[in-house]
Amino acid sequence: MKASSSARRKKSFSSSQATRISAKKSSTTSAKAWAGRFTEPTNALVERFTTSLPIDRQLFEYDIQGSMAHCQTLEKAKVLSKAECQQLIRGLTRVRSELREGRFPFTDSDEDIHMVVERRLTELIGPLGGKLHTGRSRNDQVTLDLRLYLREQLQVLHGKIHAVQAAFVQQASQHINTFIPGYTHLQRAQPVSLAHHFLAYVEMLERDKARIADALRRVNVMPLGSGALAGSNYPTDRTFTAKLLNFPALSQNSLDAVSDRDYVVEVLNVLSLIMMHLSRLSEELIVWSSQEFSFVELPDGFCTGSSMMPQKKNPDVPELIRGKTGRVYGHLVTLLTTLKGLPLSYNRDLQEDKEPLFDALQTVLDSLSLYAGLIQRMTVRKERVAEAVGSGFLLATELADYLVQEGVPFREAHSIVGRLVQTCIKQKQELGDVSLDDLRTISPRFTKKALNFLTVEGAVDRKAQIGGTARKQVARQLKTWEQRLKKRPSM
């Protein structure tokens, strides 16, 4: 028994030892909320390497919003008194004002926005500020902030897409009767209404809006109360917190809740698809605004010039959006790569989620804002597109379909018209130049009625099924979109 008692005494701290260690920590690491078990201050390089404040400081509104709800939840759980809760919320309100007004006193040792807010709160209201973190961890706090942020930003994103759609619809309303070559393989294929072409982008963007709304369902889940990984020892009512923060759903597994970044990946995927659509648009506008095409004139305010060549008007906005698409793709791959090797639950690697997300989101928002203005002010060069749609054998399929209607098997009709095109190329003619005699030289199956199939208007209007380029179908679609886009954008 004596030996055992002696061993226990050797393992225990003397009062003087504890005092010395406490004093040492107080003098070296007092700035850190977690400094209790450490015996030396954080290395300066580690401070710079690990801080996330330059990135996550933009989450301060959401961090304080979550903290206020957490105070009320702690009051309901009898962990805080009503007076303490009110004092904490008043202090948080002051911190928020300082951050909003740009007069917040940041320090070199600040780690992240969560500890910054808690530090300043304690400076303003005293030791009571230390109670704010009761029953929560930065692990559930940061994912709450990120979800609150994304919930708001997805609404903004949805509205930006709506504005680009409205610009396309405005342009389409002026060009139902403007016909352009439709392309496959970037080769002239069949004539289409330019309005039909513009509405194709409206359809693409509508799918993007639907994906945003779908992603929002998984973003809109309340993780607070999950603690560091296992939940909370306090009788906090998570349903109450969710109602305060307007979350329709609660996370159901604390381990998953603190380590889940699927919703960020999903948003980055949506952003990548939006940029892919904008990049396709960029490619067309770059080509269409070239002197070789000259289908459109981009507004001067959205172009730049050359420092050397006075005549140049460069489509820099579409080019940069096309270029930045790879940047957004890269952010998606960055986060997927970060997540692929992480065990449950939280790991510091997850700090790397915000920089790619914030940059990708801002890139997409800026790109959409630019295109809303550019599309609205873009000019179509009608004389040039009319010239283009009248050449290039765009009506060849019309003649083949005419022969089919006359009972010729399609493959035979295809071959007949192919020979006609070959003859025209040799004789340097367009299909619009051929006579009935020319047609009958190729095949006796052609009759005078075939000449009716050699008009652009007829070729367009024969595509009258739902989804076709016929003007009556385009007008119907245009009316539908005008009505839908008059409504205030919301998910």
Pair 447, 377 in one domain: no
Q: Counting Cβ atoms within 10 Å, is residue 185 exposed (0-12), middle (13-18) or buried (19+)?
A: exposed
Q: What is the pTM of this model?
A: 0.90
Tell me which residues of the chain have a pLDDT lower than 50.
Answer: 1-30
CATH number for the domain spanning 464: value is 1.10.40.30
Number of domains in the chain: 3
pLDDT at 478: 98
- The parent domain of residue 392 ranges over 388-486
Q: Which of 284, 278, 317 is nearest to 299 (CA)?
A: 317
Which of 348, 363, 383 is at the close of a domain? 383
CATH number for the domain spanning 84: value is 1.10.275.10
Pair 117, 212 in one domain: no
Pair 358, 395 in one domain: no
Structure token digits, residue 298: 């981009």
Looking at the annotation, which residues are catalytic? 185, 306
Pair 375, 247 in one domain: yes
Decide if 18 is inside a domain.
no
pLDDT at 299: 96
Pair 154, 275 in one domain: yes
Bridging pattern class, strands 187-193 and 221-222: unpaired
Please list the helix, strand and coil fractions of the chain in percent, rounded to the nearest 5, in that order.
65, 5, 30
Which of 344, 360, 383 is at the close of a domain? 383
Residue range 282-316, pLDDT digits in tens:
999 999 999 999 999 999 999 999 899 999 999 99
Decide if 159 is inside a domain.
yes
Which of 78, 113, 131 is at the close of a domain? 131
DSSP 304: B
pLDDT at 487: 86
Pair 57, 160 in one domain: no
Calpha distance 26→111 (Å, rounded): 18
Pair 298, 430 in one domain: no
